[in-house]
Amino acid sequence: MSLLVVGLSHRSAPVSVLERASLAADTQAKLLQDTLAAEPATEAAVLATCNRIELYADVDKFHAGVAELSTLLAQHSGVGLEELTPYLYVHYEDRAVHHLFSVACGLDSMVVGEGQILGQIKDALARGQELHTAGRLLNDLFQQALRVGKRAHSETGIDRAGQSLVTFGLQQLAAGADPALWAGGKRALVIGAGSMSSLAAATLARTGVAEIVVANRTRARADRLVEILQQGDDTAVRARAVEMSAVGDELTRADIVVSCTGSTGLVLTADALADALGMTLDAAPEAPAATAHAPAPDDVDQHAAWVENGSAASAAHAGPATPRRVTVPAQSTGPVRLALLDLAMPRDIDGAAHRIDGVRLVDIESLAEASADAPMAADVDRVRTIVSDEVAAFGAAQRAAHVAPTVVALRTMAADVVAGEIARLDGRLPDLDEKQRAEITQTVRRVVDKLLHAPTVRVKQLASEPGGAGYADALRELFDLDPQTVAAVSRADLNDPNRGRS
């Protein structure tokens, strides 16, 4: 296994960089195809969410792989490599597995313990399978990550450590009040009908809003979401769908707006919001500066030296980056007439909306700041133990799988030897009857099986231990196995249509 992940997330990069580096669906597909075309990579998968962009690959050369994946991320995100490099992190082999398993459990999420990431990992795997960029390693890895995430949620109280991004966002909008009391009886406008918007609509319905209006560019998807909301047994919310062109009118009637679309531009401008409220846009107020954490020097500094870029290399030797200063918009004071929750990346709602009197805006950036000091539940430690155990088990399974084709090739060679010797015996003793011939054949096979049993079982055990990959090579050398035969077994296993399906 030579698993490599290069990426950036809310932990390593400011929202402004994540926003610019976000990848549309067609761009993700092109990134995967280009990664596979690159020499160091044989498999690839991309995990792109509102707060992380990660490229996973099976590579045969570590340093070349880091440089190539970093360059590809920069090219497809549109953020220059020199600018992107300080925010990138690199994980390799077991550390890469540990990272993905932690992500799947919600340990690396903006809101610790949230479960939405499992659906996003599932989508990433499905995309890799559809484009045939995910092979045996990444299929096994992502399938296991999904199982580990489900195990963490079923065996621990990690769900108590945090909520979904939607729930957390509504809590921030409520500003300390009970979200159910705050939202009860209000009218909500949901812009978008994808997975996050659907979750937002369902959460609003359970919270007790009186009406939900869904606007989406594809009206059929908005209609479908409304139908689902109206079929819910645990809510009595009124719901209706509208065209995107009706958003301006709906803003004049809404109390809460949640937006999460795939748009690359603003869906709601500050001027449009001001018009809907019959107000003018105030001059930008002075905004206090807040300190954001710089990316940890752990893998970031090493990465800069690995990328063949002069300025990036110099950054690696400069030591940990100094804390960045980010500007936090000052929210308007007084009664809230319109509460805005922007869950899109890049953002849907103009950040200047905070300058409109009576508007409260919560977006990905403010959620990241609010969640930074959220208390961690004791169950998080239990999840970390699960992740560590699962990483060890996955590594052992992968190492054992590495030797399996060699064992199969050895047994195939032994079967061919037995068949050849039985054929030679038939030529020398043509008068043997079928019963005698069958008994001799069975005896020879038992002898071969007994001779091979101990070494093949033992080599699988040894190969599952750290550093055990060399046992497969030793077995091939000792028995002079044809490398092409071993490779053929590996290809047959990789092309099994039932492999990696759950």
Could you list the active site residues?
50
From residue 381, give the alpha-carbon distance in Å to each of 105, 159, 377, 387, 390.
12, 13, 8, 10, 14
Rg (CA), the chain: 28
Q: Residue 55: helix, strand or coil by DSSP?
A: strand
Q: Residues 260, 265, 270, 271: is their CA dihedral positive or negative?
A: negative
Q: Residue 8: helix, strand or coil by DSSP?
A: strand
Q: Work out the number of other CB atoms within 10 angstroms of the CB of residue 271.
A: 14
Q: Residues 252, 255, 261, 265: is their CA dihedral positive or negative?
A: positive
Specify whether the CB–CB gap between 309 and 81 falls below 8 A.
yes
Query: What span, in angstroms and rounded, lies between the C-alpha atoms of 339 and 174?
Result: 9
Q: Please, is 61 exposed, middle or buried when counting C-beta atoms within 10 Å of its C-beta (0-12, 13-18, 19+)? A: middle
E strand segments, 149-301: 187-191, 211-215, 238-242, 256-259, 289-292
For residue 211, the cross-strand partners are 187, 238
From residue 13, give the alpha-carbon distance in Å to each of 179, 236, 459.
30, 41, 45
Nearest to 355 by CA among 326, 332, 328: 332
First to last CA, the chain: 22
Owner of token pair 């005698």: 436
